[in-house]
Amino acid sequence: MEQRKRSGFFATIKAVLWSFFGIRKGKDYESDAAGLNPIYVIIAAVGVVILFIAILLTIIHFVLAK
């Protein structure tokens, strides 16, 4: 049985960031699906969502402060 090499955490973050834009080549998607660790995907997705919300709240704070 051949074991596939798992991608690292930074490769997972890159894949999650690309998924936020919704653009991904089919070949790259299949490579990600085969090599990404699901736990890393969940952690990276939650982290990116929290960062995105924090950025939006900061922008809103500065806009409303004026």
Distance CA 45, CA 41 (A): 6
Mean pLDDT of 44-55: 95
- CB of 16 within 8 A of CB of 44? yes
Residue showing tokens 């806009």: 63
Whole-prediction pTM value? 0.72
Residue count of the chain, please give it.
66
Residue showing tokens 């969940």: 42
pLDDT value at 36 more than 80: yes
What single-letter amino acid sits at 28? D
pLDDT at 21 (0 to 100): 80
